[in-house]
Amino acid sequence: MTAILYVCMTCRAGQPLPEGELAPGAQLMAALTVAEVPDGVTLRGVECLSACDHGCTVAVTKPGGWSYVYGRMSPADAPEILRGAGLYAATTDGLVPWRDRPVIFRKQSIARLPPLES
Amino acid sequence: MTAILYVCMTCRAGQPLPEGELAPGAQLMAALTVAEVPDGVTLRGVECLSACDHGCTVAVTKPGGWSYVYGRMSPADAPEILRGAGLYAATTDGLVPWRDRPVIFRKQSIARLPPLES
């Protein structure tokens, strides 16, 4: 089942943004875009996930699954973000076994939400 | 359109829980339960929204709408939480005008998520 990996592209990670530089969120998106996105994962940029105090921020969501928001991500985390998103996409309910989750997902969770009921 | 107001009932708000006392999250749920829930809002307790560093935590979600997670909530906030959830329920996309949002929602946002695509 397809999962969406949202990336907050406007994130400044709490820092002033020098003129002409890409926002840290856009840099993270760039690092993810040039990497290999796992099967079942759709990468999508979004403006502001309202987690500005804990940026850069990504989120994974899928129909019928718990959604997760993760913070303090950097471009160097791109491979682990994508690995975690791939594991997430392979579940039906969004619950990846704890031991399998990337360390950055275990330690940098901002919040999760139950599956949306229709 | 019906919105769900999730309340993390297991939240300890970062404090040790004396034996025999209700968890702060359960206390918040109790305060919400005895108040008047606005039309279009369904109140639902949930175990752990994984926002333990910023508890107590609530979230609002609805089909076709942005979802929001809010932190550092206390039982005294119950009336404003419910007012905000009612305003949220009355929208189609989950976007309540900024000036109308309760101050606790403006200042204590943990994260938001785009509407789930089906």
ipTM for this prediction: 0.88
What pLDDT score does B83 carry? 97
Residue A67 is assigned to a structural domain of this protein: yes
In a domain, B12, yes or no: yes
**Would the pLDDT of B3 be above 80?**
yes
Give, in degrees to the nearest 5, the angle at Cα A58 between A29 and B118.
100
Closest CA to A45 of A25, A65, A23: A25
In a domain, A50, yes or no: yes
B35 at A interface, C-beta within 8 A = no
Domain assignment present for residue B118? The answer is: no
Q: Which domain holds residue B23?
A: 3-113
Q: Enumerate residues 6+ apart whose C-beta is below 8 A from B16.
A: none
In this complex, the residue of B63, B67, B117 whose CB is nearest that of residue A113 is B67
Residue B18 has a pLDDT of 87
Q: For A20-24, B30-34, B102-106, which range has the lowest pLDDT when averaged over its residues?
A: A20-24
Per-residue pLDDT for B118 more than 60? no
| Cα–Cα dist B6/B104, whole Å | 16
Q: Which residues of B touch A101 (CB under 8 A)?
A: none
The CATH number of the domain where B108 resides is what?
Answer: 3.40.30.10
Global model pTM greater than 0.90: yes
The minimal CB distance from A57 to the residues B50, B111, B116 is found for: B111
Q: How far apart are CA A49 and CA B34, in angstroms?
A: 32
Q: Which residues from B are below 8 Å from A50, CB to CB?
A: 68, 109-112
Hey, what are A34's tokens? 């040039």
Query: Phi and psi for B69 in degrees, rounded to 5?
Result: -120, 130
pLDDT of residue B1: 64
Best mutation site among A41, A68, A113, A118 for testing chain B: the one with the most B CBs within 10 Å? A113
Query: What is the mean pLDDT, run by run of 10 residues, along chain A of 118 residues?
Result: 91 86 93 95 93 92 95 96 97 96 96 85
Query: Residues B98-102: what's their mean pLDDT?
Result: 96
- Residue A75 within any structural domain of the chain: yes
Residue B116: band (very low, low, confident or very high) from pLDDT cuts 50, 70, 90: confident
The whole-number average pLDDT for the span B13-17 is 84
Of the candidates A51, A109, A113, the beta carbon closest to that of B61 is on: A113
Considering the domain boundaries, does residue A118 fall inside one?
A: no
Provide the pLDDT for residue B14.
Answer: 81
**Could you please report the per-residue DSSP string of chain B?**
--EEEEEETT--TTS---TTPPPHHHHHHHHHHTSPPPTTEEEEEES--S-GGG-S-EEEE-TTS-EEEE-S--GGGHHHHHHHHHHHHT-SSS---GGGS-HHHHH-EEEEEPPPP-
- Total domains in chain A come to 1
Alpha carbon of A61: minimum distance to chain B alpha carbons (Å): 7
Record: contact B116-A61, CB cut-off 8 A:
yes
